[in-house]
Amino acid sequence: MRILVSRPTQSDPSSIVGLGLIVIVAAAEIFGATFYYIGRMRAARGSAQVLVGAALRPPAASATPASATTKGLPTSAASPPALSITDRLLQEGIALRDRGDMTNALARLHEASERDPQNAMVLEEIAKTYESMQLFDRSNEMWRKLQEMGPAAGAAYELADRRLKLGMSTPATGEAGMASASLDAGSIHRDVGGIAEGPILSISEVKTTEEPNPDAETSLTLQIGIRKEPNAAFDHTKVKIQVFFYDTVEDKDVKLTDADVNYEWLTSKHDWTDTNPEILSVSYLRPKTKGGSSEAALSAAAASVRPPGKGRAAKMSSSAEGARRYLGYRILVYYDDKLQAVQAEPARLVQLFPPSESGSAP
């Protein structure tokens, strides 16, 4: 068996230098790769920490508390309950009466009474409305209904008992006085159910026009629209319209006028067959030299109109009664001698001169 043993030879200097360069380059590459991968690992670890921190961090508190965002929102407990139809009609009727619109006030209140005939509050307000109109027979009917209801009507029963015991002839109570005072603010326009089925005639409008006249102290004209209810059984010969003018004497007393009063129908037939409403014109003329008149003559100053026709009111005799000034008017409409509608300007004329429910009454 031959054994070969190698024997080292003397190294070449150039080979040693080349080998060293190779080792240096290899070491540099290894160092660079190591640095690169270490950097990647640190970056990945930092990102993971950020993500984990964001996931574990509690959410920031809102700048506005949750309770503050809902504080201003209405809740079902705070909202008022919806009114019933009867209560709504009652409130509307009272508001209309306070404005002096008795026609619509009574219409709302009666509608409420039809829906709830045993509603004491509705019957009380109807009675007060009739009282403010000086129609005490009708107000007493309402008070009697409340009295018949007994203590179940509550305070309205006690009020009705007091009213009926007093035998109302004037608005002597605080409530009626307040209602009367509220009417003085302006004109009053109301239709009165003079018959069981309700009024056949109503006053649709009153237009007042002042006319320039150098020879007159006051010259004005009323245009009064009288409307008939559609499909109502009707006889125009049963219509009666009264127009009263009033003056202040020495700026204190209120009396029927002594001025010249004339009336004329502006519509041709005024029987409500072709035209509805029919228009009546009534003029007031006070010459600058006009004197006063006696009370007997003043009572004839009202223009009492029965269609068809036109005419001239009687002139008043003069007297040294004092300086007069135009105050206003009062209009009454009757059908078959039953009061249908009343309108006055200013409203207090109705309180000073309550209308009669019968057209035949003096």
How far apart are the C-alpha atoms of 199 and 110, rounded to whole Å? 14
Alpha helices in 299-356, H assignment, sequence order: 348-352
Q: What is the pLDDT of residue 51?
A: 43
Q: What are the C-alpha distances in Å from 265 to residues 26, 189, 191, 200, 236?
A: 130, 21, 21, 20, 14
**What is the percent of the chain with per-residue pLDDT over 90, rounded to a whole number?**
29
Mean pLDDT of 261-269: 91
How far apart are the C-alpha atoms of 48 and 115, rounded to whole Å? 77
Residues 285-305: pLDDT tens digits? 999 864 444 454 445 545 566
pLDDT, averaged across the chain: 74
Measured N-to-C along each axis, helices 174-183 and 120-132 cross at an angle, to the nearest 10 degrees, of: 60
Neighbours of 280 (CB within 10 A): 24
Residues 67-92: pLDDT tens digits? 444 444 455 555 667 889 999 999 99
Residue with tokens 């160092």: 31
How far apart are the C-alpha atoms of 239 and 356, rounded to whole Å? 15
How far apart are the C-alpha atoms of 263 and 198, rounded to whole Å? 28
Q: What is the pLDDT of residue 303?
A: 56
Dihedral sign for Cα 273, 332, 309, 219, please: negative
Q: What is the pLDDT of residue 305?
A: 65
**Nearest one of 115, 123, 110 to 154, comparing CA atoms:** 123
3-state secondary structure 143-208: HHHHHHHHHHHCHHHHHHHHHHHHCCCCCCCHHHHHHHHHHCCCCEEEECCCCCCCCCEEEEEEEE
pLDDT at 152 over 70: yes
**Spatial contact of 196 and 138, defined as CB atoms under 8 Å apart:** no
Q: What are the C-alpha distances in Å from 47 to residues 35, 41, 60, 171?
A: 19, 10, 21, 92
| Dihedral, CA of residue 226, residue 229, residue 230 and residue 231, to nearest 10 | -130
Lowest mean pLDDT, pick from 2-6, 133-137, 155-159, 194-198: 2-6
Instruction: Sort residue 316 into left (φ over 0), alpha (ψ -120 to 50) or beta.
Output: beta
**Spatial contact of 323 and 255, defined as CB atoms under 8 Å apart:** no
